[in-house]
Amino acid sequence: MAYFDAASATPLHPVARQALLASLDEGWADPARLYREGRKARMLLDAAREAAAEAVGCRADEVVFTPSGTRAVHMGIAGALAGRRRVGRHLIVSAVEHSCVLHSAEVCEAEGGDVTRVAVSRTGAVDPSGYARALRADTALACLQSANHEVGTVQPVAEVAEVCRAAGVPLLVDAAQSLGWGPVEGDWSLLAASAHKWGGPSGVGLLVVRKGVRYAAQGPVDERESGRAPGFENIPAVVAAVASLRAVRAEADREAARLGELTRRIRDRVPELVPDVEVVGDAGRRLPGIVTFSCLYVDGEALLHELDRAGFSVSSGSSCTSGTLTPSHVLKAMGVLSEGNVRVSLPAGTAEEDVERFLRVLPRAVADVREKLGAPVPVTAVRAEELVVDSLGKRCPIPVIELAKVFGEVPVGGLVRVLSDDEAARLDIPAWCEMRGQQYVGEEPAEQGTAYLVRRVS
């Protein structure tokens, strides 16, 4: 089985396993106690904090270990907002942040705050000028991921940090996807990360709060972790997390070059091997191990099952794989095709032959899913040079399939009106037009659902 979902979680690094087992015997005691066992535990915890600080590029007393990366984000945002409550309750985030950041933004709004969501380009990147325009006199905090978790696009953190610093606004960086590859550049103020993204054990996060940043921990406070993360530290897991971070950093340059070449191979060859595919994300400014593409006329969940049966573990941002039947917020913000979406994220050590086998298996898997879907004959009615396609009650990717099957029946200049009540159609029909070189006219209310208008230009 080839595991290609490292962006979700990375297999435990051998160094992490060794460190975890070794520290189980030495790091079980309370590090706050003065007897021998407590002192041993304290030495392990202090050494781990120093090593983590070196990897991040900060002071050791700025590092707090948390129960997860999500918890680090929640604590970082809540504490920074509370610390600057006299300034205001305005929060800035990008539209493609991880859900844990967006959930914190929703809490901010529910508590009377104001949130600005900065748009991204079709490659998934923010423009620093977007943050500059969003800054206000009452802005308490800005947040930006270092790299996107779904499409791999690296964000201009240093430039955004400079804009925020000039306005006196702290910037929190979610570095979960990138910290294993190197420190985050720029004059950021807070940083969050998660050990299971770089080969450490799950249940360990990092929160860094730079000196001078106004921060007020929320909830009950005790004496541990500078009062910012209450509860007994899981010292063996912390030690293993930091040991693995140092180990992957030592291998990062070599692995980045190797995995970067493998993902470039996937980006280049998938469109050649599979018709009607859109590869998404920035082609150059990206993490080395992630490549994402979407396939027209494909049910995402069915494709993932086909690939699983073929021996490949991949993930998807397709609406067809979610219980909500809505597309990934990342793909939606980018304005790219969401149906039949596949994210390949290669862990360190991925073999070249596994990538080649994936490229051999993928075309057949996509073809099988398309064949099984069958694309039922749409109910149509012709009105002069306009064709109406009734796809009400049908889910991704059927509306687009039905559009494609009848599109040739209208003359050049003619109009196809697709009736759909599937939220994914709002994203996927314009994306189909972009890929096909046809004109997406827009949408308008219908008696049921929404009518999406497509004009044939060629």
Output the pTM of the full model: 0.86
* Tokens 């991040």 found at: 56
89 backbone dihedrals φ, ψ, rounded to 5°: -125, 35
Beta sheet of 190-194, edge-to-edge order: 63-66, 205-209, 190-194, 171-174, 139-145, 90-94, 114-118
CA 265, 269, 272: angle at the middle one, nearest 5? 170
- Check: CB of residue 190 under 8 Å from CB of residue 75: no
Q: Which residue, 243, 242, 245, 274, is CA-closest to 359?
A: 274
Q: What is the pLDDT of residue 320?
A: 54
**What gap in Å lies between CA 148 and CA 173, rounded to an integer?**
12
And the tokens for 425?
Answer: 């159609």
Q: What is the pLDDT of residue 70?
A: 96
And the tokens for 368?
Answer: 């099988």
Reading the chain (458 residues) residue by residue, the pLDDT tens digits are 899 999 999 999 999 999 999 999 989 998 989 998 999 999 999 999 999 999 999 999 999 999 999 999 999 999 999 999 999 999 999 999 999 999 999 999 999 999 999 999 999 999 999 999 999 999 999 999 999 999 999 999 999 999 999 999 999 999 999 999 999 999 999 999 999 999 999 999 999 999 999 999 988 777 777 767 777 889 999 999 999 999 999 999 999 999 999 999 999 999 999 999 999 999 999 999 999 999 999 988 899 999 999 999 999 876 554 555 577 899 999 999 988 999 999 999 999 999 999 999 999 999 999 988 863 334 444 444 688 999 999 888 999 999 998 888 888 888 999 999 998 899 899 999 999 999 999 999 988 899 999 999 98
Neighbour tally for 286: CB within 10 Å: 24
- Check: CB of residue 98 under 8 Å from CB of residue 73: yes
In three-state secondary structure terms, 418 is strand
In DSSP terms, 63 is beta-bridged to 208
Q: Where are the alpha helices (DSSP H) in 386-458?
A: 398-406, 425-436
Is 320 marked active-site?
Answer: yes
- Check: CB of residue 319 under 8 Å from CB of residue 338: yes
172 backbone dihedrals φ, ψ, rounded to 5°: -95, 130
110: part of which helix (H) or strand (E)? helix 99-110
**CA dihedral of 311, 261, 193, 69, whole degrees rounded to 10:** -20
Query: What single letter denotes the amino acid at residue 70?
Result: T
Q: Which of these is catalytic: 58, 100, 143, 320?
A: 320
Q: Which residue, 150, 99, 152, is CA-closest to 342?
A: 150
Q: What is the pLDDT of residue 318?
A: 65
**Hey, CA dihedral for 225, 229, 234, 239, is it positive or negative?**
negative
- Check: CB of residue 152 under 8 Å from CB of residue 145: no
Q: What is the pLDDT of residue 377?
A: 36
* CA distance to 130, 343, 344, 356, 451, per residue, from 3 (Å): 37, 12, 9, 14, 41
212: burial class by Cβ within 10 Å (0-12, 13-18, 19+)? Answer: exposed
**What gap in Å lies between CA 73 and CA 61, rounded to an integer?**
18
**What gap in Å lies between CA 398 and CA 400, rounded to an integer?**
5
In three-state secondary structure terms, 345 is strand
Query: What single letter denotes the amino acid at residue 237?
Result: A
Q: What is the pLDDT of residue 372?
A: 86
Query: What single letter denotes the amino acid at residue 336?
Result: V
| Backbone φ/ψ region at 437: left (φ over 0), alpha (ψ -120 to 50), beta | left
**What gap in Å lies between CA 170 and CA 311, rounded to an integer?**
45
303 backbone dihedrals φ, ψ, rounded to 5°: -65, -40
- Check: CB of residue 180 under 8 Å from CB of residue 198: yes
**What gap in Å lies between CA 172 and CA 144, rounded to an integer?**
6
- Check: CB of residue 319 under 8 Å from CB of residue 275: no
